[in-house]
Amino acid sequence: MQRVSGGGWSYLEPKTRNGRRKIILGEGTLNALRLHREQQRITIAIAGKHWQNHKLIFSNSIGNPMDPSNLRKDFYRLTSAAGLPKIKFHSLRHSAASLMLNNGVPLIVVSCILGHAKPSITLDLYGHLYHEMQDEAAKVMDELVTPIKVSLPSDVSPADKLHQSAPEIE
């Protein structure tokens, strides 16, 4: 949906074909949306004949698209009340991507959820997170590899052991 100069709004196709996608939601999110739908039914009843049915999930009090400035004000009010720092509404998208990547959601899945045409776009935007996650990867590798016991035959000299334990890199 995009605002039209001079007032009003119109629906536009997404920028890329990947912009139109299905996203699987968790049960907690679905429950929140069900509760919102019940609240919206009350809003529709209150609005009565003034309700404009545009089939929007999130609308203003008479069913029209929400004004972006009102959405922004409500968002700032809610984040402030929750004791969160002031961020732009669009930053929620980046927060979601960061949370998914930092918690092990595969890059290809995050890329699909965000609607990126290729995972390389996601990697370009969020690659810095992979550098931050290298400490965790090192710990995981230690846990996986360090417990493996390596023993050499007793007839190998200490000097030979040193040369055998350090692989040559070409």
pLDDT score at 63: 95
pLDDT score at 133: 75
This model's pTM is above 0.75: no
For the segment 56-78, what is each residue's pLDDT rounded down to a tens digit? Answer: 999 999 999 998 889 999 999 99
DSSP string, 106-134: -HHHHHHHHT-SSHHHHHHHHHHHHHHTH
pLDDT score at 40: 97
pLDDT score at 2: 83
Extended strands (E) in the chain:
2-3, 9-10
Q: What parts of the chain have a pLDDT lower than 50? A: none
pLDDT score at 138: 84
Q: Which DSSP letter does residue 64 get?
A: S
pLDDT score at 166: 54
